[in-house]
Every structure is written in C-alpha cells, then in structure tokens.
Structure 1
Amino acid sequence: MRSHPFVTLDVFTARRFGGNQLAVFPDAQGIGDAEMQALATEFNLSETTFVLPPADPANTARVRIFNRVAEMPFAGHPSVGTAVVLAQRGHGAEGRLRLEMIAGIVEVELWRDADGRPAGAAIGAPQPLSVGAALPVAPIAACAGLAPEGIVTVRHAPTLAADGGNPRVLVEVTEAALAAARPEFGAFRQAVEALPELGGRLSLYLYRRDGAGLRARMFSPLTGTWEDPATGSAATPLAGFLLHLSGAESASLDILQGVEMGRPSLLRTTARRTPEGIRATVGGFCVPVLRGEALL
C-alpha cells in the first residue's frame, strides 16, 4: 500500500470555510491517471490537483487538474491554491512561479502576509481571450431556471468565451434573476443536444453589476458541480470579455461569488490588451484547512 500526502485549502477567501475548496497532492509521482481521477471523485470537490516535476526545468512544476469526472486543461482556483502550497514548500522565493498545464504555462505572482508567509496569488490565464458564439436567450435562461426576461442583453447576448480551454457561457442577469437562479439539469442536457456550438459541454457564469464590481454565480451540473463558490477560469474570460466590449486598454474588477452558497469568495481580476490579444489575471487569498494522506 502506497501513502501520498495531501492538503486542502479554501481558495479566494481570507477566512476558513469560505471560498472554494481544493485538494492538492504536492508530490504525485507514482499516482496513475486512473488513480488521480478516482481520488478527485473521492474528494468530491470541484477540483483536485496533482503536482509533478516539470517537463522543462525552467518551470516550477507540472500540475494536473481533475474535476469529479474528467481532467481539465486549466482552472483558476486550483492554480492559485496549488501555487500557494508550492510556495509553502519553498518554491518561488523570488515571488514568481511557472506552472505547466495542458492549456499552457500559467504565470504566478505570489502574495505574502505581513510576516512574509505565502498567503495568496495572482495567476495569468494561459491563453489570450477567445470569444465564441452568441447563444439564444431562451434555452440559456431555462438552464438557470429563469424566465428570458431575467437575462440582460443590452450589452451582449449570452456568449461563449475562454482563455484556457474551458469555454464558459457569460450571461448578464438582473439582480432578482441572480438571486433566484437554480440550475436545471434537464435543461442543461437539452441545451447541449440542441446547440452544437457548445461542443457537448456547458458551464454558465451569471453576473450582475454591483457598484464598481460584480456579483456572480457559476453552474456546471454536467461535470458534477451543481454550483461553484469561486471560478477563476470563468472570472478571467469575463474580465477580458468586458474589456473587449468597453474598448478600454486595461481594467481591474473585483468579483464577489459564492454568497448564495454561504461560501463568499473574492476574485480580483485584471485585463489588458496585448499584441497577442486580451490577457487576464485573477488573484485571491487562501486558507489551509486539512492535511492527511491517501492510501493507494
């Protein structure tokens, strides 16, 4: 029987039992692909990460990310949380890390507390913003259990966008609709079958304006995440997409998510125009929660 240590953190929060939960295996050498998927399913969190030596020694580590049903090319809160765990183990003394992921290299800027201890991180999405198809309102509203009138289309229709291999449907909604939204599994299945532009997968990122920032909720029941308390890989394309619509050169935006779940999360985003397209970052704090070992 093999023993593999793990830790868990709450990510995008400065207090324990807020934010988004993450399990990290800081030394995953010897864990097979099927075992990684089985462990992610066993933890039953939105994602679990497995750290391996980098393919390129110029980088810090290779990180594999699994949700409950499949491996992911990139995800936000797993990148932030894994970076903090690596920093706690002595990596990134100069304040930066480079993580190899399927979607590309994730650049990390570490955040430290007043005593110099790793406390959070900001990560850059591994790819420039890619804006996909605009989608019809009615089936998307149905996925969130909303009437079409709850969808705001003044600035944009529900729109696919990505910057790391995880397309999200970005949907502006009214204040009442955001509070009332509930994922409807059957409607998700019907939308995937009826809308080929979705490519067989569907995650909804609902948002509304809230003063200078945003409030958001994310539903992805087809991957086992009924609702997600903090979704960095949706926050970055949203930040980039809103910059794309505004025509500005750069912007920063705070997104509050997870309130309706009792796990409030603060995601701090930036977006800027570059020669290769719009690039976005997302950052937040982390709190350690558990440590243990998996027996395989």
Structure 2
Amino acid sequence: MKRRFVTLDVFTTRRHAGNPLAIVLQSEGLDTEAMQAIAREFNLSETVFVSPPERPEHRASVRIFTPGGELPFAGHPTVGTAVWLALTDEAQGRPAELLVLEEKVGPVSCAVEAKGSHAGHAVFTLPRLPERLAQPVADTSLAEALGLDPADLGFDAHRASAFSAGVAYTLVPLASREAVAKARVAGAAFERALAATPNGNAFVYCREPAETGHHYHARMFWPGSGIVEDPATGSAAAAFAGAVMAYDQPGDGDHRLVIEQGYEMGRPSRIVLELSVRNGALASARIGGSAIVVSEGVLL
C-alpha cells in the first residue's frame, strides 16, 4: 500500500531551519514495528503517524516515534501535525480555529491558524502540568557528561533539576551562552552520568539569548533516542516550565517566554512558552510555534 507523507520544519517560519518533522498520513494497517522501521528510515527527531480519531469530536489520533522508540507526547510533532491538519482543512473549505489530537499522553488541544497554503502557527495546552522528579546526578558528574567544568553549572537560583510534563528531562542550567556552546555528549561519561535518570537526556539552558526579545538559549542532548542533539524540543520546554516556576517564581498573571534552540546546529528555532500563574501556582501552560511545509511524497 502506498502511503502519503509530508515533511515540515517546525518552530520556524522559514524552510531549512527549526526542527524537521515527517508525518505519515495514511497509517492504517501499520503495526508498532512497521512504524518504528519507517521512523528509522526518515531518521528525523520524530515521525508522526496519523489515523482517524477514536472520538468523533477530535481531529486525529497520532503516534510519535523517534528513531529509537515511541513517545507518549512531543512538542514539535504536535505543532507540526496541527499546522498540517489546519492547512488541509483550510484547503477543503472547512477551517477550524481549534482541534484536538489524541496522543498517548491523552487529548491535546491546539489553537491553529493557517498562514497561506504552506505555513501556519499552532499553540497547544500542556496535557499535563510539569511534575518534579528526583534528580540523582551530582553537578560534577553532569559537568563531566557535558564536557564542562563544574563552575559552568548554575545561574541565579537555577540548579540542575528533573521535570516531566509527559516526557522526563534532566534540566541543566549553565552560566553563559559560551558554556552552552561548549556543551557536548562526552562519550561514555554522558551515558554513565545519566544512566540513573528516566530517559538519559540533558536539556541545557542559560539566560543569555542570542537574539533580542528572547529569554533563554538552550540545547537538548538525547543520544538514546537515536538523535544525539535535537534542534527544538517542545516537550522539554513543557518540562522546563517546572524549573521556571521553581527557580524564577513568576508572580500571578500570564507570562510569555521565548526559548531559542538549535543555533549551534544551524537550525535556529523559536519556542514560545506561556504560563498562567494563579495563587502562586502554575494553573496552565501552553507551547506555541510556527511550521512550514518542506516536502510531500509517497512511501512505497
């Protein structure tokens, strides 16, 4: 059976930037093993498989795979898939401002806007608020894992932590953008240090953005997923909301933060994190970004 696919660049408004995403549009009849094989063939950070929803009021059911395994939830697949479906609906004369994707984590509500025939913007509400996890890795081990000096770790009140909003991340604050640029997966030291964490990844960040109007500069390393470094990681930004609440303690109200990622890879990406704080606690959070179609094709 021939199956259509599209690719989009996500968390960007221009092609050949942001995070590439493959979407297989006709996934009926594919089992988990077949989906994993196709994801390895695309070899992108994530590949999405779209099928009809279980509930008629929802827009689609999606499964998300890295080259190394399936994820219950991910940010750039959610944004990219929502944009593609919005473009499809717009072309068919049935535009919608809101759609719901069924993911393994649960239903994910997305506000969408088509911008022409090949680009759009989506904002989704986190299906789960970030939950703090145990962070068993000492700063000295994290520094060694990332090829850094222990003095490079931490800024202001921020310290290494672990949070999950559906996918667990080890969050590592670094003192400068120079330290973020120097960070790397330091071979066996990375695997050894992160072995005790849920997913063996490290989201490193600092408060020295490269561009005016942005708030944080970040990189994300996850060799166990099959992709050593990811250009833009929405689910990590979702987890990062927990660190913002814990260490920056924003006041009641609505807050908009822009996270830049992928710059060291030549894939600049822009992730918008929106926080709604009520009575000193995080009441809700949203991830937003743009996406643009790059290619369309057929799997034989």
Please report the TM-score for the alignment, with normalisation by the length of structure 1. Answer: 0.91
User: Is the 1:129–1:279 Cα contact (8 Å) retained in structure 2?
Assistant: no
Written as runs of structure 1 = structure 2, the 5 A alignment for 1:69-108 is 69-90=68-89, 93-108=95-110
Q: Partner of 2:204 in structure 1?
A: 206
Percent identity between matched residues is 38
Match of 1:172 in 2: 173
Structure 2 gaps of 5+ residues are: none
Alignment coverage as a number of residue pairs: 288
Partner residue, 2:268: 264
Aligned ranges 1:171-250 → 2 under 5 Å: 171-175=172-176, 176-193=178-195, 195=196, 198-199=197-198, 201-210=199-208, 213-245=215-247, 246-249=249-252, 250=254
**SS of equivalent to 1:81:** helix
- Deviation string, structure 1 residues 221-250 (Cα, Å, up to 9, x no partner): 111111111000111221343034314223
Q: CA deviation at 1:182?
A: 1.0
> Which amino acid in structure 1 is aligned with residue 120 of structure 2?
A
Match of 2:285 among 261, 265, 280: 280
Structure 1 residues 68-147: aligned runs within 5 Å = 68-90=67-89, 93-113=95-115, 115=116, 119-134=120-135, 135-147=137-149
For 1:185 and 1:88, locate their aligned partners in 2 and report how far apart those are by CA, in whole Å.
42
- Following superposition, the deviation at residue 26 of structure 1 comes to 1.9
2: CA distance, partners of 1:61 / 1:274? 32
User: In structure 1, what is the Cα distance between the partners aligned to 2:203 and 2:218?
Assistant: 7
In structure 1, how many angstroms separate the alpha carbons of the residues matched to 2:241 and 2:129? 12
Task: Say which SS state the counterpart of residue 89 (structure 1) adopts.
Answer: helix
Tell me the SS of whatever aligns to 1:107: strand
Q: Greater CA deviation, 13-22 or 278-287?
A: 278-287
Normalised TM-score (structure 2): 0.90
- 1:17-49 CA-to-partner distances (Å, cap 9, x unmatched) read 000000001221122211100000011001000
Q: 1:160, 1:116 → 2: CA distance?
A: 40
Give the distance between the partners of 1:264 and 1:233, measured in 2 at CA: 17
SS in 1 for 2:207: strand
* CA root-mean-square deviation: 2.0
Matched residues in 1 for 2:117 and 2:50: separation?
24
1:21 paired residue number: 20
- Matched-pair contact (CA < 8 Å) for 2:119–2:292: no
- AA aligned to 2:152 is G
The answer on whether the counterparts of 2:118 and 2:292 sit within 8 Å (CA) in structure 1 is: no
Question: Comparing 62-71 with 24-33, which one deviates more in the overlay?
Answer: 24-33
Answer whether contact 1:127 1:163 (CA < 8 A) is retained: yes
How far did residue 57 of structure 1 move? 1.4
**C-alpha displacement of 1:287:** 1.3
Structure 2 residue 67 is matched with structure 1 residue 65:
no
State whether residues 89 and 96 of structure 2, in contact with CA within 8 Å, keep that contact through their aligned partners in structure 1. no
Q: Which amino acid aligns with 1:131?
A: R
In the alignment, residue 168 of structure 2 is paired with which amino acid?
A: P
In 2, the alpha carbon distance for the partners of 1:258 and 1:15 equals: 14
